[in-house]
Structure 1
Amino acid sequence: MKMFISIVCFAIISWATAPAQDGVKVAPENYKVLLENAHVRVVEFTLKPGQKSPMVSRPNRVIYAITPAIGKLTGSDGKTIAMDRKAGEAWWRDAESLAVENTGKAEIRTVIVELKQ
């Protein structure tokens, strides 16, 4: 019985501390690779109103909003920040792990250019 409890505790701790993963692999309904080469990966990201993406790991990147992007970003530390970007706006984000929630009334569509170096 002690062995079983130890295994369960180890599994829970391992799951809770698992690193964020690649969005393309864990949420293909939200992330679509448009181009990939040795220098960049270009990804289209979509998120329906009320939908939340899983926690994913993202490298340094440029993001371009195709549609308005109204939502909430939650970092791996649990802190949240509001996102309110206009269509046509571009911005830079350093590497991080985060989840995105669409708090707006329309689908979010962005193009993300991830740097590989």
Structure 2
Amino acid sequence: MAWSRYVKYNAATMKTLISILCFTVISWATAAAQDGVKVAPENYKVLLDNTHVRVVDFTLKPGQKSPMVSRPNRVIYAITPAIGKLTGSDGKTIPMDRKAGEAWWADAESLAVENTGQAEIHTVVVELKQ
């Protein structure tokens, strides 16, 4: 008899814990997948938005870090040198060292950018829509 009460209590507790965990993961994923234009308008400015692309002007002062944002497939063009580090939603970081005038492709991802250089990062991002 005592054992059956223990099992029922643990089952109810586990259901509650699983529900809380699922809610936390969903909330975290939603927070991680925010649009930079909405969460950091001081860094992201829309230049063009139509059914095919969204063109975004991105600036980041030295020492500044952008929030974690969700970015679709895109082409990035560096107006100034872009020296910093990128942090993915998994917490892994990779260095970024792009020259002014350089363009590159980036797959869809959630990331934060930190400017570790001495000058402002200024890029134009062409986000592709599907």
User: Identity, % of aligned pairs?
Assistant: 83
Of the candidates 68, 88, 93, which is equivalent to residue 80 of structure 1?
Answer: 93
Matched positions, count: 110
User: Could you tell me which residue of structure 2 aligns to residue 102 of structure 1?
Assistant: 115
Higher helix share: 2
**What SS does the aligned partner of 2:37 have?**
helix
Distance in 1 of aligned mates of 2:78 and 2:56? 12
User: Could you tell me which residue of structure 1 aligns to residue 78 of structure 2?
Assistant: 65
Query: Which runs of 5 or more structure 2 residues have no equivalent in the other structure?
Result: 1-15
TM-score, normalised relative to structure 1: 0.87
Of the candidates 2, 15, 20, which is equivalent to residue 33 of structure 2?
Answer: 20
User: Could you tell me which residue of structure 1 aligns to residue 68 of structure 2?
Assistant: 55
Q: CA deviation at 1:20?
A: 1.8
Q: Which has the larger radius of gyration?
A: 2
Counterpart mapping for 1:27-42 below 5 A: 27-42=40-55
Distance in 2 of aligned mates of 1:26 and 1:84? 25
Distance in 2 of aligned mates of 1:104 and 1:98? 18
For residue 35 of structure 1, what is the amino acid of its counterpart? L
TM-score, normalised relative to structure 2: 0.79
**RMSD of Structure 2 on Structure 1 (CA):** 1.8
**Structure of greater relative contact order (alpha carbons < 8 Å, 6+ residues apart):** 1
Higher strand share: 1
- Flag as ranges the 4+ runs of structure 1 deviating above 6 A: none
- 2:125 aligned with 1:112, yes or no? yes
